[in-house]
Every structure is written in structure tokens, then in C-alpha cells.
Amino acid sequence: MLASARDRRPNGVLEPFKAYLDARFTETEGQVSGTWLFLEIQARGYRGSRQVVRKHLAALRAGTAEPTRADIPSPRKITSWIMRPRETLTESQDQRLLQVRLACPDITRACDLALAFADLVCHRRGCLLLEWIRQAEQDAPKPVQGFAGFLRQDLDAVTAGLTLPWSPGVVEGHVNRVKTLERAMYGRASFALLRTRVLTRP
């Protein structure tokens, strides 16, 4: 049997708006019409039918509505909020990060350690690195503990990088330039031409 147009419509068209509808229903103590709510969420991007809104409103009044699923941000989004300076977050992003921190102690600990490590890097406080590693190994989530373990394996070099003003960046840039030239000329030119290009190309 062929499915009707209603059956073919994507499921969950109301899902992103249920939290708003539930909040409006609660704050008005149920004294709000389905038509008015339909117009409100339509202005917010709802593209479903009016009947779906009325059906959900009827379920709210009868106490049979399914619990609204929490809008959980993705791990990538949470990570971006943690890694960015707090002053660059919008008020909404800062509030969401606070909610995530309150809901998950592991994220709270990871966030605190990430901010502390960023302070070490930005202000060249390599003398505090070992203490940071100890704290991370003691009670941090496993991914952060693993990162701290890698830092400990090359502790002297990492401490120097977070303390001294010098950087191997310029040398590494020249090495990368030479390797790029080698790959571009492999099998096509002599060593003499390669040497000339390395010495003359800025």
C-alpha cells in the first residue's frame, strides 16, 4: 500500500521546538492556544503542520507527552568552547559551557586543566609544567592523562620550549622548503640545479 503524504513526511520535525513549547506551556500554566504557539515557532523556523503542534499541546495537557530530549552539544563543539579564550565566547556559548561543566565532572576537570596548560604556554611558565603533569596524572580524564604521559617522556625539551625565548621554527621552515624543492624536482633535474634553487630561492 502506498504511504500517504503525512507518513512520508520526515519524523521529528517538531523535535527542535519541543523545549520551547514545553517552556511556554509551563510559564502560561497551560493557558495558551495551539494556534498561537504554532505562529511563534513558525517565526523561529518551524516548517511542520499546525496539527502536530496541537497534538503535542494536547499531550502536555493530558500529561502523556514524551520527555523532551536534551540538546546535547557535540564533543567537537564543547572542545572548541574549552580551547577558546573565555572572553571570545558569546553569552550563550559561555552559558552552555557552564551547563556542560555542571553536568559532567570529567569535562569540568578537563576544562580547568586545559585553561591551566594554556596559561603555561602563553606566559612561558615551564617551571610549573611538572606540577601540571602530576595533577593531570592524578585525577584527569584518561585522554588528558595520556597527554600528560607523553609530556613526561620528553620533559626537559617541553620545559625548555615553555621557558626559553628561542624557537626552532625558522630552521624547520627552511627544512620544509628544501624538502618541497626536492619533491618537486625528483627525477627531473641534476643535483647542481637543485643546489642552485635551494641557494637562490627565498
pLDDT in tens, 7-43: 334 447 888 888 888 888 888 888 888 888 899 898 8
Amino acid at 106: D
pLDDT of residue 127: 93
More confident residue, 73 or 147: 147
Maximal CA-CA distance, the chain: 86
For the chain, give the number of residues.
Answer: 202
- Full-model pTM: 0.54
pLDDT tens digits, 119-167: 999 899 999 999 999 999 999 999 999 999 999 999 999 999 899 888 7
> With 90 as the cut, is the pLDDT of residue 197 above it?
no
